[in-house]
Amino acid sequence: MIEITKTNIEKAINKARQTKPFVKVIEFRRYSVTNKITGANYTVKFTKINNTKYAECDCKATVICYHIGASIGAHIVLAEQMHTATA
Q: Which is nearer to Zn ion, 1 or 82 (CB)?
A: 1
- Give the list of residues 6+ apart from residue 34 with CB closer than 8 angstroms, or none: 21, 22, 24, 40, 41, 42
Member of 21, 23, 46, 67 binding Zn ion (CB under 5 A): 67
16 binds Zn ion (CB under 5 A): no
Q: In what order do the strands lie in the sheet with 30-34?
A: 2-3, 52-57, 41-49, 30-34, 22-27
Closest separation between CB of residue 64 and Zn ion, Å?
A: 9
Q: For residue 83, give the H/E element and its range.
A: helix 66-86
Binding segment for Zn ion (CB under 5 A), chosen from 3-11, 18-26, 42-50, 78-86, is 42-50
Binding segment for Zn ion (CB under 5 A), chosen from 9-17, 23-31, 34-42, 70-78, is 34-42
12 binds Zn ion (CB under 5 A): no
59 binds Zn ion (CB under 5 A): yes
